[in-house]
């Protein structure tokens, strides 16, 4: 028994080291793939700079009591844009491609196992999302005078729940799509309506009442509502937070239940 106890820590440490190396490898592959960095960070960052140069977007939004301008609202929208790209394009197409090419099946015969590949991909995409969020907030603040969210704790919680919900949706797409092509198609179909309800084209406050009600219960619409509360100095209300938590839990459960390794 003492010999077994002595041998256990090195095995655990070796597995942890393997997971860390795999995470670094998957992170490098995510960067080389360019979907997350280019479309998830580069494109919305350029769009942020362009929108910041439009004087009309400096007008206050009446629905926020005049505390926020249209440009202020576009900052969280672009943060959600980043999460949506990762969830509908980067994560599912990569993992579905691994399944299609037999990578996940072959990983099942190794000590590392395919579950660590999923973990590494989730960590890599989460890291990209965190870098993007900090970058967008910093550029908006330093370049265009946009204040930080007045309730930082509420904003951080809202972002974590939004990231969890969107990455869970990405896992669900991966579970349902048999290959890279179908994963790309499903992600594309989901991306545009989700971004519409986040307020990319029309602010949620200016939508018809029916669309506003629908937006509040979509993942990006709920995220936008929670972000707006935090920017106004309030802790996000329960409805958007619970909505995001529900998406995270339900999509993760379904993805794990129906996930196919080959």
pLDDT in tens, 3-57: 434 444 454 555 556 667 767 766 676 666 666 677 778 888 999 999 998 988 8
Q: Percentage of the chain with pLDDT > 90?
A: 49
Q: Answer whether 194's CB lies under 8 Å from 217's CB.
A: no
The rounded distance, in Å, linking the Cα atoms of 210 and 212 is 5
Q: Which of 46, 84, 85, 53 is nearest to 71 (CA)?
A: 53
Which residue is listed with tokens 């506003």?
A: 212
* Reported confidence tier of residue 256, pLDDT bands at 50, 70, 90: confident
Q: Answer whether 143's CB lies under 8 Å from 49's CB.
A: yes
Q: Which residues pair with 69 in a beta bridge?
A: 60
Q: Answer whether 131's CB lies under 8 Å from 36's CB.
A: no
What's the pTM?
Answer: 0.86
Phi, psi of 150 (to 5 degrees): -70, -25
Phi, psi of 233 (to 5 degrees): 95, 10
Residue 28: other Cβ atoms inside 10 A? 11
- The interaxial angle of helices 2-33 and 91-100, nearest 10 deg, is 110
Alpha-carbon distances of 13 from 7, 17, 18, 110, 120, rounded to whole Å: 11, 6, 9, 17, 17
| pLDDT tens string 206-246 | 899 999 999 999 999 999 999 999 999 999 999 999 999 99
The rounded distance, in Å, linking the Cα atoms of 51 and 73 is 11
């Amino acid at each position: 028994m003492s010999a077994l106890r002595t041998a256990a820590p090195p095995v655990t440490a070796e597995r942890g080291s393997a997971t860390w190396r795999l995470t670094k490898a998957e992170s490098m592959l995510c960067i080389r793939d360019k979907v997350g960095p280019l479309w998830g960070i580069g494109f919305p960052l350029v769009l942020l700079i362009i929108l910041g140069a439009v004087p009309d977007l400096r007008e206050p939004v009446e629905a926020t009591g005049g505390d926020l301008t249209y440009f202020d609202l576009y900052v969280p929208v672009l943060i959600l844009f980043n999460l949506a790209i990762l969830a509908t394009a980067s994560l599912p197409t990569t993992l579905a491609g691994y399944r299609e090419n037999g990578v996940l099946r072959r990983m099942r015969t190794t000590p590392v196992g395919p579950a660590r590949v999923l973990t590494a991909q989730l960590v890599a995409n989460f890291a990209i999302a965190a870098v993007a969020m900090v970058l967008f907030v910093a550029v908006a603040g330093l370049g265009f005078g946009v204040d930080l969210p007045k309730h930082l704790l509420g904003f951080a919680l809202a972002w974590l729940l939004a990231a969890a919900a969107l990455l869970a949706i990405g896992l669900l797409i991966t579970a349902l799509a048999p290959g890279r092509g179908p994963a790309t198609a499903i992600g594309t179909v989901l991306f545009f309506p989700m971004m519409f309800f986040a307020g990319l084209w029309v602010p949620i406050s200016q939508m018809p009442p029916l669309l506003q009600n629908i937006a509040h219960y979509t993942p990006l619409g709920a995220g936008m509502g929670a972000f707006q509360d935090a920017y106004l100095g309030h802790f996000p209300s329960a409805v958007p937070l619970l909505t995001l938590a529900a998406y995270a839990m339900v999509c993760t459960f379904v993805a794990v239940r129906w996930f196919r390794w080959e």
